[in-house]
Amino acid sequence: MSVACPVCAAVDLAIEARGVEVLLGDRQVLRGVDLIVPRGEVVALIGPNGAGKTTLLRSLIGLVPRTAGRIRLLGEDDLDRALPRIGYVPQRLVVERNFILSAREFLAIRLRRTRGWFWQSHKSIDACFGEELERLGVSSLLDLPLAALSGGQLQRVLIAFSLLGRPELLLLDEPTNGVDQPGEKTFYELIGEVHRRHRLTVVLVSHDLSMVYRQATWVYALNGVVCCQGPVDEVMNTDSLKLAYGTHVSPYHHQHVH
């Protein structure tokens, strides 16, 4: 008889991934990764380039096939049953310039009531979106084609897209990629706000340790395997980061320098 982990049994888990192995080409990107995320946490995946952060995120939702391991999302073993309750923001949306899907049409796809957007008036579509878009700063972008949006604007639209589905779990891949520095802070404030208001679980992949320091409650340092994990203060201040990043690491979290 297997003995259940007392912690896991007691806590409601958003993600329970064990022994995940992924092979991309000839390279074993993930070599047995365990990722346990209780509901309501903001968990950051950090690590150097090629550490498998993005791959781990993508393998969770079946975008990358795994060669071994078991994944349970939101208490479901069957990915198809969990997917409708998950929001995903990909690393960057490469928008085909020839495809002029407007932000309104794109967002309408996410809602059951507006999936027939072709036959609906803009007014009735916007009425279905609710006030959330205003808070996300997206409502002024609805008429623009996705291809015309700047990196930061597009990221907001993508967040809005995933939030419209009322997810319980939000997966963000390198959310500040392509966003300029002034835009970045507000973006993370946005994530924090969304997390507090919707009480959803957030897993984000990031290079930016200062951001991790501000927003995450728990950190996984990854480099093919989980090098270390723990509350932000512990992980970010120990030598364990060196394990993940190598020896010449400088976790720049701008502590009280300003």
80 makes contact with other proteins (CB under 8 A): yes
Closest Cα to residue 192, out of 172, 222, 221, 207?
Answer: 172
98 makes contact with other proteins (CB under 8 A): yes
Two structure tokens written together for 179: 């966003």
User: Residue 201 or residue 229: which is nearer to other proteins going by CB?
Assistant: 201
Figure out which of the listed residues 104, 212, 213, 224 binds other proteins, where binding follows CB under 8 A: 104
CB 177 within 8 Å of CB 96: no
Closest Cα to residue 229, out of 45, 20, 10?
Answer: 45
Side-by-side strand order, sheet with 201-205 = 86-89, 169-173, 201-205, 42-46, 218-223, 225-231
**HEC letters along 80-139:** HHHHHHEEEECCCCCCCCCCCCEHHHHHHHHCHHHCCHHHCCHHHHHHHHCCHHHHHCCH
User: Residue 11 or residue 101: which is nearer to other proteins going by CB?
Assistant: 101
| Residues in 205-234 at the binding interface with other proteins, rule: CB under 8 A | none
User: Residue 3 or residue 94: which is nearer to other proteins going by CB?
Assistant: 94
Kindly indicate which of the ranges 4-12, 59-67, 230-238, 240-248 contains the residues binding other proteins, using the contact rule CB under 8 A.
59-67
129 makes contact with other proteins (CB under 8 A): no
51 makes contact with other proteins (CB under 8 A): no
Q: Which residues on neighbouring strands pair with residue 220, listed in sequence order?
A: 45, 229
Provide the minimum distance between the beta carbon of 63 and other proteins in the complex, in angstroms, as a whole number: 6
Figure out which of the listed residues 143, 180, 189, 234 binds other proteins, where binding follows CB under 8 A: 143
Kindly indicate which of the ranges 6-14, 27-35, 82-90, 183-191 contains the residues binding other proteins, using the contact rule CB under 8 A.
82-90
The CA distance from 154 to 147, in Å, is 9
Provide the minimum distance between the beta carbon of 8 and other proteins in the complex, in angstroms, as a whole number: 25
Q: Which residues on neighbouring strands pair with residue 221, listed in sequence order?
A: 46, 228
User: Residue 19 or residue 62: which is nearer to other proteins going by CB?
Assistant: 62
Closest Cα to residue 210, out of 167, 244, 181, 190?
Answer: 181
86 makes contact with other proteins (CB under 8 A): yes
**Chain positions contacting other proteins, by CB under 8 A:** 58, 61-63, 80, 83-84, 86-88, 90, 93-96, 98-102, 104-106, 108-110, 115-118, 143, 145-146, 161, 165
